[in-house]
Amino acid sequence: MDLIKFAEKVARLSRKLKVDDVELLLTNKRTLNARIENREISLELNEAIFSVGLRILKRGRIAYLPVTEPNLDLIELGIQTALVKAAPAPYPSFVTIEPPVQKLFAFDPAVAQLLEKPDEVQKTARLLVNRAYETGKIETIEGRIWIEVENRLVTTLHSSEPVYAERTGFSAMVEINSKDFDFVGTRRLPDMEEVIALGATVANNLPATETTPEAEGIKGKTVPAIIHPVMLEEMIRRLVAEHLYATTVQEGMSRLHLGERVASEIVTLWDDATVPYDGNTFPTDDEGSPSRKNLIIEKGILKTFLYDRASALREGKESTGNGRRRPILIEDEHEAPIRCTINDIYLAPGDKSLEEIVKGINRGVVIKMLLGFHTANRTTGDFSNSLYFGRIIRNGEITALPEPGRWAIKGNALDCLKTISAISRETKPIGSGVLPWVQVELTVA
């Protein structure tokens, strides 16, 4: 479907309805999913997954409209209905996007071609499964290989041209024996040998034994904890970022203050939606404000909060490019309102290898995933959750897996930033940024 032509039709309809301004997010996706369940592999191809997210301004009021069909009659009726329930608007008009729009790279033809070669994707999944079973260590294996091509458009009624880009996505994930997982996530075609070896690599790295907090003598104690990049991203995005949003600050709910030390002096953190081929790479945010790199924490000092357009106007500032349709709970992207949202997350790597960090710990844990982390307290940053995937460190070595149901980890995400004592040289692309492993102090609850 031609999104640019459809956006022009929506603009003509908006003028016919005599609205003051319209902000439009259009997406059209094609996906291929090769699902792995032990030795069974099933393919699912989805064509033309279309969505529209509209915001409408008229006479100082703002209305919202999500649509999943390219039907102008439906959109016309939806606009008229939405305006009846319109709320006071935070601004008189939306962003006017002016050329030239920065060109960012997020499309790989080699990934797009895989959508036309489902047999090749299935063959890769089969090779992955066979390689894993060859280790002799597989009880269960689950996962998928996911291919996506997305056409994405952002525009407003008074913009001279829309912001349009094609983006590809490739991800492969496996979970072995319900004890560990790993993945490759990128917008470019990865090294396919790495994909094929994914399951075997996880299986070969699984410790043979499990242990309990009581056996390790650390139940109820605060111990060194190495946070895996996957868990670190979850912690920053779900808990820390809530206190970085200008909306939270303006509501008096943030615990952080500009210019103050909020993290260890070895921490430098930024967000960015301009890095080629990363998860949120796009020329603008969902309001049409230019994407950019935001230095958030530099050597432990808080340098900026993150703004969408409404929160920026309250303080007479410019948006930092963080106005996005961030879904919460069961919302889809096109249904979500604009919220302050951190983009792809980056933390500067340290000067120690991960092996050196492990060797420096007598008794501790590696945390890859905490079960039910979405229940953590966003207001305070507190969490107390079962350790789902991780490792146990004893005498400077990784020696065992956590016995299921016997480990819980308790802490506070904001306090974790301050207790970071080591950062690994190694980093992992996580599909929404690049992060290292970090050492903190947490309690085995």
Q: What is the CATH number of the domain that holds 23?
A: 3.30.2290.10
Gap between the Cα atoms of 54 and 75, Å rounded = 9
User: Does 270 lie in the same domain as 155?
Assistant: no
Gap between the Cα atoms of 174 and 129, Å rounded = 9
pLDDT on residue 231: 98
CA distances from 327 to 167, 339, 365, 432 (A): 20, 9, 32, 16
User: Does 128 lie in the same domain as 26?
Assistant: yes
User: Does 262 lie in the same domain as 243?
Assistant: yes
pLDDT on residue 349: 98
- Give the percent of the chain with pLDDT over 90: 99
Domain boundary among 180, 200, 220: 200
User: Does 88 lie in the same domain as 32?
Assistant: yes
User: Does 231 lie in the same domain as 183?
Assistant: no
Closest CA to 206 of 238, 164, 178, 167: 178
Which burial class, exposed, middle or buried, applies to 98 when counting CB atoms under 10 A from its CB (0-12, 13-18, 19+)?
Answer: exposed
Instruction: Annotate 214-246 with DSSP letters as a single string.
Output: HHHT-TT-EEEEEEPHHHHHHHIIIIIGGGTBH
Q: Quick one: how far is CA 67 from the chain centroid?
A: 24
User: Does 287 lie in the same domain as 413?
Assistant: yes
Helix (H/G/I), strand (E/B), else coil: 207: coil
Whether the CB-CB separation of 200 and 134 falls below 8 Å is answered with: yes
Residue 110: its H or E element? helix 109-114
Confidence of residue 124 (pLDDT cuts 50, 70, 90): very high
User: Does 320 lie in the same domain as 369?
Assistant: yes
In this prediction, residues 203-215 reach a mean pLDDT of 97
Domain boundary among 148, 183, 200: 200
Gap between the Cα atoms of 191 and 197, Å rounded = 10
What is the model's pTM? Answer: 0.96
pLDDT on residue 131: 98
- pLDDT, one tens digit per residue, over 363-412 is 999 999 999 999 999 999 999 999 999 999 999 999 999 999 999 999 99
* Number of separate domains in the chain: 2
Instruction: Annotate 154-179 with DSSP letters as a single string.
Output: EEETT-SS-EEEEEEEEEEEEEETTT
Gap between the Cα atoms of 61 and 6, Å rounded = 25
Largest Cα separation within the chain, whole Å, is 73
User: Does 333 lie in the same domain as 268?
Assistant: yes
- pLDDT, one tens digit per residue, over 260-308 is 999 999 999 999 999 999 999 999 999 999 999 999 999 999 999 999 9
User: Does 183 lie in the same domain as 156?
Assistant: yes
Domain boundary among 200, 227, 259: 200
Mean pLDDT score of the chain: 97
User: Does 222 lie in the same domain as 169?
Assistant: no
Q: Encoding tokens for residue 48? A: 């033309």
How far does the chain reach from its first CA to its final CA, in angstroms? 53
Residues 6+ apart with CB under 8 A from 310: 90, 91, 247, 323, 338
User: Does 188 lie in the same domain as 228?
Assistant: no
In this prediction, residues 39-55 reach a mean pLDDT of 96
pLDDT on residue 344: 98
pLDDT on residue 445: 87
Residues 6+ apart with CB under 8 A from 29: 46, 48, 49, 148, 149, 150, 151
The backbone torsions φ and ψ at residue 16, rounded to the nearest 5 degrees and listed phi first, read -60, -40
pLDDT on residue 329: 86
Confidence of residue 196 (pLDDT cuts 50, 70, 90): very high
Domain that holds residue 230: 209-445
User: Does 190 lie in the same domain as 55?
Assistant: yes
Confidence of residue 78 (pLDDT cuts 50, 70, 90): very high
| Residue 387 one-letter amino acid | L
- pLDDT, one tens digit per residue, over 141-195 is 999 999 999 999 999 999 999 999 999 999 999 999 999 999 999 999 999 999 9
Q: Does the pLDDT at position 59 exceed 90? A: yes
